[in-house]
Structure 1
Amino acid sequence: MRNIRLLIEYEGTQYAGWQWQKNQKTIQETLSKAVERVVQEPVKMYGSSRTDSGVHALGQVANFKTTSAIPPEQLIRAINFYLPHDITVKDAADVMESFHARYDAQSKIYRYTLLNDWIRTSLNRNFCHVCGLLLNTDKMLDAAQYLIGTHDFTSFTTRALQERNRIRTIKRLEIAKEGKYILFTVEADGFLYNMVRTMVGTLIEVGRGKIMTENVRDILAARNRNLAGPTAPAKGLCLIEVKY
């Protein structure tokens, strides 16, 4: 039995997220069906991160086990043949039988793209959130420092009661301007449901002066979702890399 690791890129616009769901099109289901057509047997696909509806990925990692002898290079071409153009397998490799895409991950890197302009974009409309308000990125950077480290992120998840352990470690949270775009890059050992999008929504409120910089520390300590900012739209979020 072989264990195959896949590196996958996808646009999540037309999908109800990664995880298989009843009566909804998902990345996991679409990918699994394509793989099964190639290897000619049922497979169980494991993903490194359960990206939400509308969220994209440049570096999603998945693995499945198979008795097929098809070489990795040929697997890439064959699987992509059966996939729609908004999902692409970028790499395939044989790995140890014990490898698990989700449980072996050491950290994940997400990037949120914000277009800070009052004029919308057409070409990039599915990959960024447009905010026409004047934002103070220096204040946003200062506020972001309170979120770095190991904390209880109950205030930054919309499903606190469904998460037994709400402790996560943010290794870095960077905010950079590229022209009219503001890029939020977050690396952590794991993320709660809507955690990145809620942090971004809160930092936007800091940037526009609705939340004071030092109040982010208090919001974090309060463990109360109602005190944080709104959840930023899914289309601005992209899984960049998973580290092992």
Structure 2
Amino acid sequence: MPLFESLDDTQHLTGRLALGVEYDGSAYCGWQRLKHAPSVQAEVERALGKVAGEPVTVHCSGRTDSGVHATRQIVHFDAPVGRSEKAWVFGGNANLPRDIALRWVAPVADDFHARFMAVARRYRYVILNQPSRPVLERANATWCRDPLDAPAMHRAAQALVGEHDFSSFRAAGCQSKSAWRHLHFIEVHRHGPLVVIDVQANAFLHHMIRNIVGALVDVGRSERGENYIENLLELKDRTLASVTAPGCGLHFVDSIYDERFVLPREPLGPNLLAFLGEWTGERELPDCPWVRYRRGLPKAAESETSEGLAEIGRHQPSDQE
């Protein structure tokens, strides 16, 4: 998908539609609609309802927590009336606050579900590592004044790759029935004063990424050894782990689906990392039971594990970061 593409104003889109949503989560208590606090979902539904002239309910690919941002949150809804591509996007944005925007809309098959059809979710955590406190980046990066050893953090993080019980990295109030998740990759790189933690998995537990980041920062400060992450994984005890990193540094940057669902491709965010040059959907997914299950393919016997099959059988994991 080119960066600049005209939106159609002639053909009315009806049926099931997918949307790409970007938001600054600073002013919201997460994505999910709440009765007692502002949410991103409520704002998106209100704006789309204005365009449609009828109530609209949206379903997201992964719930984000209070203060967490997104550059490619995928949602779907069933359009109650026909509106053009331009009307849905421009009309929706005209009715949204400045910290939320619709990036694109696309028709999808009736069986598409933003949450249940997702094969993987990807986040980037951004740390501004410098002595002085941030100003321009204060809302979308976490400040760490102590020098961080990014290569050591990267080496320590590799113990998390694969299918594991992530009990040491889940919030006390996590509602998931299982702590098993398949982490596809995690990378830690330094770009000048920015330390970026890039992580993808089939799904995440509540606060899982922020708890991982908190532990990795302790490694980066040399307060813990590089085996700290592996030890925590084996202990399966959240009370023995590090503090939870702030939500302001976390960005939901991609939700990945089977190739039969053709969604617009766009550069991965946030925009301050555009120099990395990576677009959505470029990386190969692992050939594991969960990916094959989501794609409706036979499970490859050589890639099955007892934990993986149990995970598939127990419940549908959902992103709750």
**TM range, normalised to the smaller chain?**
over 0.9
Aligned pairs, how many? Answer: 244
1:11 matched residue in structure 2:
24
Deviation at 1:138, TM superposition (A): 2.1
Match of 2:159 among 131, 146, 156: 146
Amino acid at match of 2:57: K
Residues 46, 64 of structure 1: 8 Å contact kept = yes
Superposed CA deviations along residues 33-71 of structure 1, whole A, max 9, x for unmatched, are 111111111222101110001000000000111231112
In 2, Cα distance between the equivalents of 1:225 and 1:169? 18
Residues 80, 89 of structure 1: 8 Å contact kept = yes
SS class of match (1:69): strand
1:30 matched residue in structure 2:
43
**In the superposition, relative to structure 1, how do residues 168 and 160 fare at CA in structure 2: closer, same or farther (>3 Å)?**
farther
1:234 matched residue in structure 2:
247
State the TM-score, normalized to the length of structure 1.
Answer: 0.97
Deviation at 1:210, TM superposition (A): 1.8
2:135 matched residue in structure 1:
122
In 2, Cα distance between the equivalents of 1:199 and 1:127? 18
1:69 matched residue in structure 2:
82
SS class of match (2:218): helix
Deviation at 1:229, TM superposition (A): 1.3
SS class of match (1:176): strand
In 2, Cα distance between the equivalents of 1:220 and 1:231? 16
In 1, Cα distance between the equivalents of 2:179 and 2:57? 28
2:262 matched residue in structure 1:
none
1:51 matched residue in structure 2:
64
2:290 matched residue in structure 1:
none
**In the superposition, relative to structure 1, how do residues 161 and 96 fare at CA in structure 2: closer, same or farther (>3 Å)?**
closer
In 2, Cα distance between the equivalents of 1:32 and 1:2? 16
SS class of match (1:70): strand
Mapping of residues 177-196 of structure 1, within 5 Å = 177-196=190-209
**In the superposition, relative to structure 1, how do residues 201 and 161 fare at CA in structure 2: closer, same or farther (>3 Å)?**
closer
| Structure with the bigger percentage of strand | 1
Deviation at 1:85, TM superposition (A): 1.0
Mapping of residues 83-94 of structure 1, within 5 Å = 83-94=96-107
1:135 matched residue in structure 2:
148
Residues 23, 69 of structure 2: 8 Å contact kept = yes
State the TM-score, normalized to the length of structure 2.
Answer: 0.74
1:112 matched residue in structure 2:
125
In 2, Cα distance between the equivalents of 1:226 and 1:67? 48
Q: Does 1:80 align with 2:93?
A: yes
Deviation at 1:159, TM superposition (A): 3.1
Residues 154, 160 of structure 1: 8 Å contact kept = no
**In the superposition, relative to structure 1, how do residues 161 and 119 fare at CA in structure 2: closer, same or farther (>3 Å)?**
closer
Gaps of 5+ in 2: 1-13, 258-321
Amino acid at match of 1:88: A
In 1, Cα distance between the equivalents of 2:48 and 2:151? 47
Superposed CA deviations along residues 88-132 of structure 1, whole A, max 9, x for unmatched, are 000001111111111111111100000111101111110011111
Residues 181, 201 of structure 2: 8 Å contact kept = yes
Match of 2:171 among 147, 158, 162: 158
Match of 1:205 among 214, 218, 222: 218
Deviation at 1:208, TM superposition (A): 1.1
Deviation at 1:161, TM superposition (A): 6.0
**In the superposition, relative to structure 1, how do residues 20 and 227 fare at CA in structure 2: closer, same or farther (>3 Å)?**
same
Q: Which has the higher contact order (CA 8 A, sep 6+)?
A: 1
In 2, Cα distance between the equivalents of 1:23 and 1:226? 30
State the 4+ residue runs in structure 1 displaced beyond 6 angstroms. Answer: none
Amino acid at match of 1:40: G
1:103 matched residue in structure 2:
116
In 2, Cα distance between the equivalents of 1:72 and 1:3? 13
SS class of match (2:168): helix
Identity percentage of aligned residues: 35
